Amino acid sequence: MSAETNVPEVASGRAATPGGHAPLLRMEGIVKSFPGVKALRGVSLTLEAGHVMAIVGENGAGKSSLIKTLSGAYEPDEGSIAINGVPLGRGTHAAIDAGVAVIYQELSLVNDMTVAENLFLGRMPSQGGFVKRREANDDARKALAQVGLESVSPSMRLGDLPLNKRQLVEVAKAVAREARILVMDEPTAALQRGDIANLYAVVRRLRAAGMGIIFISHHLEEVFELADSAVVMRDGVTVSSRPMSQWTEQELVQAMVARNLESFYPWEPREYGPVVLEVRDLASPPIVRHASLSVRAGEILGIAGIAGAGRTELLKAIFGALPVTQGEIIVRGQKVSIKSPSDGVHHGLVYTAEDRKLEGLVLEASIEENVALSSLKALATGGFVSNARKRALAQEASTRFGVRAPSVMQITGNLSGGNQQKVILGRATATNPAVIMLDEPTRGIDVGAKSEIYAHMVSMARAGAAVIMVSSELPELLGMSDRVLVMYRGSIVTEIARDKADSETVIQWATTGVGA
């Protein structure tokens, strides 16, 4: 392990464990190779009970391979794993029996089974061949109570629960199994702000109860909020480990991407052109009401607000994806009628959806097909789309945005999140739009890909496009925007200049609708 020598044992795994006792988890010299790829190159780390360790790194750094090795899904080529000083056996059952539980981003629960059946899947209490449901339900209630789900009935169908509660059922499953080590892989990716706060509270309770927790997240604010230490992985090795008190966000990002960053956010002052989009008193029930804004060519306009404030709905209404019941939309000085996304594209607007997998991309289609989706009319002659022009368009976009793929015929669903987002940007800019509306443009992608997306945003603005960005990440919003608008209950309630925008001011307006 290439770790810093002054780091405590709990963070680095290098020094002797205080008092000589065996740590909760010790992984030493883990090597794992696949055909043509060495995913892990001698990784070592140590985790103590009652400690939250974050593991961070770009996609491909080896985080998933390391966790799958700990869970028994992968067998290491070299190295050892011990829990409380006892060598870990092979396979997933050995890991579960040793107290290892892993919660992946895609939940491993069965919607058509009851909550209790999910908690004790494969190990329901039984006697004489009969399931002891009363005992199972009683034990389930105890586990559910530990994660704040006292109101959930063990006998209800799991699929009837909302996603945020299903996520906590997965945590309760680890509690029911008496797990000593809990691994959480991007646990907040599909959660809203209030649900995330509840999950944090549960993690803190489990830590206080002595559980060791490994927390994997692309969201650095979560790492600083929750973790006691952070281990940085890059190219299959651990490159740095420190307690969180010794990290800054800048240092953590720099360790992850292996390059000097003067600033994580490559914002720069720009000359603005004329106003290209003006929205006056727009309403799109039931969410958006009385929203007004304007944005100039070359400007990056940020829109902040809590979940449910109407940010996404406002962008969709402007683009024509949601009906508008009042107000005006003015593009390049001309009042326009936009009743569909095709109208929006016709008038020089593009919108990239918050959920790229559900709304932004055809995952089963190639990069070429996805890039060309908004430009098919322009690529057609006599009613037939030119394959040569389509290929050239996709290749130019892939080169410009740095899409990492063998060719533009690569299936888009096989790309990383960052590369999928670059494909979306390639399609968005293929029509040379006047206004580019980006809804959560870096959600679910690693920090290296984020920095690339930010650079592309600046390039688009520098080229004369007006860029509107909705983001739930305040550092991102403040770092990239020339101005910030704040939405509250469907209306834009204030505008804050870049030099006056800070987290406290934005949060005050976003949560109350008024200033301090």
Judge contact between 103 and 187, C-beta under 8 A: yes
**Residues 461-464: contacts with CB within 8 Å, 24+ apart?**
461/270, 461/298, 461/299, 461/300, 462/270, 462/298, 464/273, 464/297, 464/298
Judge contact between 466 and 302, C-beta under 8 A: no
User: What's the CATH architecture for 273-348+433-450+463-516?
Assistant: 3-Layer(aba) Sandwich (3.40)
Question: Of 266, 274, 313, nearest to 435 (Cα)?
Answer: 274
Question: Of 175, 149, 156, nearest to 115 (Cα)?
Answer: 156
Exposure string (b/e) for 10-34, b if CB count within 10 Å is 16 or more? Answer: bbbbbeebeeeeebbbbbbebbbee
Judge contact between 483 and 302, C-beta under 8 A: yes
N-terminal to C-terminal alpha carbon distance within the chain: 49
In the chain, ranges of CATH 3.40.50.300 domains? 9-99+180-257, 273-348+433-450+463-516
Phi-psi region of 489 (alpha: psi -120 to 50; beta: other; left: phi over 0): left
User: What element of type H or E holds 293?
Assistant: strand 288-296
- CB-based burial label for 508 (10 Å; 0-12, 13-18, 19+): middle
- In whole angstroms, what is the distance from residue 344 CA to residue 4 CA? 53
User: What element of type H or E holds 100?
Assistant: strand 100-103
What is the pairing mode between strands 181-185 and 212-216? parallel
Tokens for 457? 């945003």
> Per-residue confidence of the chain (516 residues) as pLDDT tens digits?
333 323 333 333 333 444 557 899 999 999 998 876 788 999 999 999 999 999 988 767 888 889 999 999 999 999 999 999 999 999 999 998 999 999 886 677 888 889 988 888 867 666 666 767 788 888 889 989 888 888 899 999 998 988 778 888 888 888 888 889 999 888 876 666 677 888 888 889 899 999 999 999 877 888 999 999 999 998 899 999 999 999 988 788 778 876 555 557 889 999 999 999 999 999 999 999 989 999 999 999 999 998 789 999 999 999 999 999 999 999 999 999 999 999 999 999 999 988 777 777 888 888 888 888 767 677 667 777 777 878 888 888 888 888 888 888 888 888 877 888 888 888 888 888 999 999 998 887 777 788 888 999 999 999 999 999 999 888 889 999 999 999 999 999 999 999 999 888 998 898 888 886
Residue 215 one-letter amino acid: F
Question: Of 468, 404, 400, nearest to 440 (Cα)?
Answer: 468
- In whole angstroms, what is the distance from residue 312 CA to residue 288 CA? 10
- In whole angstroms, what is the distance from residue 315 CA to residue 295 CA? 13
Judge contact between 485 and 293, C-beta under 8 A: yes
Tokens for 156? 């209800």
Around Cβ 68, how many Cβ atoms within 10 Å?
A: 20
Around Cβ 339, how many Cβ atoms within 10 Å?
A: 10
Note the pLDDT of residue 512. 87
Q: Under DSSP, is residue 12 helix (H, G, I), strand (E, B) or coil?
A: helix
Q: Which residues have a Cβ under 8 Å from the Cβ of 116 and sit 6 or more positions away?
A: 124, 133, 136, 137, 139, 140, 154, 155
- In whole angstroms, what is the distance from residue 442 CA to residue 472 CA? 10
**The CA-based dihedral angle spanning residues 401, 406, 407, 412, taken in that order and rounded to the nearest 10 degrees:** -70
Tokens for 413? 């669903």
- In whole angstroms, what is the distance from residue 494 CA to residue 514 CA? 8
Q: Under DSSP, is residue 227 helix (H, G, I), strand (E, B) or coil?
A: coil
- In whole angstroms, what is the distance from residue 493 CA to residue 214 CA? 40
Q: Under DSSP, is residue 213 helix (H, G, I), strand (E, B) or coil?
A: strand
- In whole angstroms, what is the distance from residue 394 CA to residue 407 CA? 10
What fold is seen in the domain 9-99+180-257? Answer: Rossmann fold (3.40.50)
Exposure string (b/e) for 470-488, b if CB count within 10 Å is 16 or more? Answer: bbbbbebbbbbbbbbbbbb
249-257 and 447-462 helices cross at what angle (nearest 10)? 100
Judge contact between 191 and 164, C-beta under 8 A: yes
